[in-house]
Structure 1
Amino acid sequence: MNPIKRKKITMRDIADVLNLSVNAVSLALNDKVGVSEETRNLVIKTADEMGYFDENPSFIARNRLRNICLMVEERNFRDTHFYTKVILGIENEAKRNDYDILVNFMTSDKFEIPSSVERRKVSGVIVVGTIKDEHLEKLLKYDIPTVLVDHCSFTISTDAVLTQNMSGSYMATQYLIRKGHTQIGFFGEIDFSLSFKERWLGFNEAMRNAGLNVDPIFNVNPGYCVIGQVEQYVLSKNYKEVANIISKLDKLPTAWVCSNDSAAITLYNALNILGIKVPDDISVVGFDDIDICNIVTPHLTTIRVNKELMGIKAVKRLLWRMDNPKEPHDHIRMEVKLVVRESVKEIKN
């Protein structure tokens, strides 16, 4: 038995439902003058509900839908200090350009393409935070303009908005060296994200240029560094476990450069458990300049990242990409700056 073939939805069908002329429907769908904004929105909503866009995927190429799919890991969405500021920038810039944001959570273990992407109900995609290459490949097969934020692939070409991680960490390390510190460590799980890895590399470069190599590749003992699996304790605020890790180090540094501010504040609490004071005993520098840096005691010296501007830049790049699909991809690096507060003690030789 042959399956019943579904009737293809046409502009005439939409016009009949809304009691409009076919010409009015055509003007609305193709974003042409001659119909009110209210009518245009009604036509697009009705066409969507009737399945017109499912049968006409080329519609997006001709007249983009006013939706952007935002993909973010749930753990990052819960980060009220950094990623929510980035997402706020995305949302505000999208609204300024009359776009709606459709938020979709993803996980690294069980990745699914959002239905809005599968059904081509969006004109662009923004991925905030880490995404595996294998998942990115699946996403890009839908040929919808995509911009990554705070992440990029080493093998797959996309537009990306990133931070000057290496130069920022270099800047933080150099500041400690100028303050007389030579026994400096890095605290943070360097394999957790691209940003953390780049900050580790910037730290190493500053140390190397000062003749204070710490990377095992140079056969120098990296004993001051805690770069293994500690992010789980940072995220869960398990200060006791971090204190336990620190207590097992052969020797403590006089200063730590941290992968981000949350790691730095975790250090504050872990050191406090051990009876070690910041900055009297150990100086600490963070990265990101989240709001709590001005609340903790002592106020945290850190590297400032304009988080909302990252989101704004991502939307602007996505809209540009929609109009320039054949142009080469680009990585935009956000400027950073050192913010000096009270968590670093000068060591006088």
Structure 2
Amino acid sequence: MAKKVTMQQIADYLGVSKFVVSKALSGKGGVNETTKERVIEAASQLGYFAQKNAYVKNIKPTAPASLSDRSKQSVIVLMPNIRFQTKDSLYWGKILEGISQTLEAEGLGMVIISEQRMDNFANVLNPSGILGMIGVGEISTSLLLEVHRIGLPMVLVDHEDALIPTDTVFANNVDSITRLTKHLIGLGHERLHFMGDFRFSRSFRDRWIGFRSALEENSLETPALDDPMLSLFGIDRGEYWEEIKSWFAKRKKMDKLPTAIVCANDSIGLTVCSALQSLDISVPQEISVTGFDNIEDAYRGTPPLTTIHVPKEMLGKRAVEKLLNRIANPHDPLEKVLISADIVYRDSVAEPRARG
């Protein structure tokens, strides 16, 4: 039987005091953010969080009512107001709709929290009658640790944290973008490029992996990791139009334009189309462009954008179902649910034009 990982072991591993480890894991003040992050990472590596009841409970939560008595129960939806993760978003808003509709069908309420700071966060997280939490999009490790420490069941949508074990729900990013890239290759494209920051989120990284694997399978050249289009600045704010335009302008001057651009999401794809048009480069006659997510603006683009349809409401629905299943079966193994996503063929893709 494996020995229990203690705070003293974590302290010895890091060369700090047990008091510092206890402070960092309890969420109390007195420890700077850098040290706190080191403690959390070390605790995860040593298996501290994987232990039953290993988290430090500095709060005594009020036990929620049973699942059979739902008249006064709610689920917290944690959706930090970053990256435009709001209910009005063309992407995140649809996921929220799926969560809301499913909770309503189950007779459960919903409390939306967009808190990013740790101040008094635990008090908000654990009011009487809260069944669990669904996290939507990118959420800091410190906030997730707060939930984990309290012991509140949680499911993450379109995000996972290597340090905090939990159930997750994603679109099948790797397989779907692999199919899309192979479709472009089947049309005759051999000079393909990926646009987006693969370090930005787990979904973006998976989409990059799917793109790269399709190229490697077909013995095609993959973009170098130091290519600026693989680390676009301002992804969350859409502040990359000039950067993209400058990159295309340089490539055009060198006669090294790709024939197809695979974008990490629709917003980037629409920006690429705009930048190309400003340089008098036609889409798709000269360069084909694809997106990902199938937001409503994708079919309004000029031309309408070929993309991957992510069933956003279904992501929300499955998150609710997974959370209720976790509450009913707390000791089952953690799961990563992948929802299939399909290609939507539109006018932004064509066969490559023969080079003169």
Match of 2:286 among 281, 285, 290: 281
Residue of structure 1 equivalent to 2:241: 239
Aligned counterparts of 1:213 and 1:228: Cα–Cα separation in 2:
18
- The unaligned stretches of length 5 or more in structure 2 are 1-58
Residue of structure 2 equivalent to 1:100: 109
| 8 Å CA contact 1:127, 1:147 repeated in 2 | yes
> Which of the pair has more CA radius of gyration?
1
1:9-44: per-residue Cα shift (whole Å, max 9, x none)?
A: xxxxxxxxxxxxxxxxxxxxxxxxxxxxxxxxxxxx
- In the TM superposition, what is the alpha-carbon distance from 1:323 to its structure 2 partner? 1.1
Matched, 1:70 2:77: yes
| 8 Å CA contact 2:285, 2:352 repeated in 1 | no
Residue of structure 1 equivalent to 2:167: 159
Counterpart of 1:177 in structure 2: which amino acid? I
Scaled by the length of structure 1, the TM-score of the pair is: 0.76
Instruction: Give the root-mean-square deviation of aligned CA atoms.
Output: 2.4
User: What is the DSSP-based 3-state SS (H/G/I as helix, E as strand, rest coil) of the residue aligned with 1:191?
Assistant: coil
| 8 Å CA contact 1:164, 1:336 repeated in 2 | yes
| 8 Å CA contact 2:307, 2:345 repeated in 1 | yes
User: What is the DSSP-based 3-state SS (H/G/I as helix, E as strand, rest coil) of the residue aligned with 2:76?
Assistant: strand
Aligned counterparts of 2:165 and 2:66: Cα–Cα separation in 1:
21
User: What is the DSSP-based 3-state SS (H/G/I as helix, E as strand, rest coil) of the residue aligned with 1:151?
Assistant: coil
The correspondence of residues 262-341 of structure 1 with structure 2, limited to 5 A, is 262-341=267-346
Residue of structure 2 equivalent to 1:43: none
1:127-182: per-residue Cα shift (whole Å, max 9, x none)?
A: 00012334322221111110000111234321111111111111111011001000
Matched residue count:
288
Between stretches 84-93 and 117-126, larger displacement belongs to 117-126
Matched, 1:210 2:218: yes
| 8 Å CA contact 1:261, 1:287 repeated in 2 | yes
User: What is the DSSP-based 3-state SS (H/G/I as helix, E as strand, rest coil) of the residue aligned with 1:345?
Assistant: coil
Aligned counterparts of 1:324 and 1:330: Cα–Cα separation in 2:
12
Matched, 1:191 2:196: no
Aligned counterparts of 1:79 and 1:314: Cα–Cα separation in 2:
20
Residue of structure 1 equivalent to 2:230: 227
Matched, 1:87 2:96: yes
Aligned counterparts of 1:298 and 1:121: Cα–Cα separation in 2:
49
Scaled by the length of structure 2, the TM-score of the pair is: 0.74
| 8 Å CA contact 2:118, 2:142 repeated in 1 | no
- In the TM superposition, what is the alpha-carbon distance from 1:121 to its structure 2 partner? 4.4
Match of 1:145 among 136, 139, 153: 153
| 8 Å CA contact 1:148, 1:161 repeated in 2 | yes
Identical pairs, percent: 31
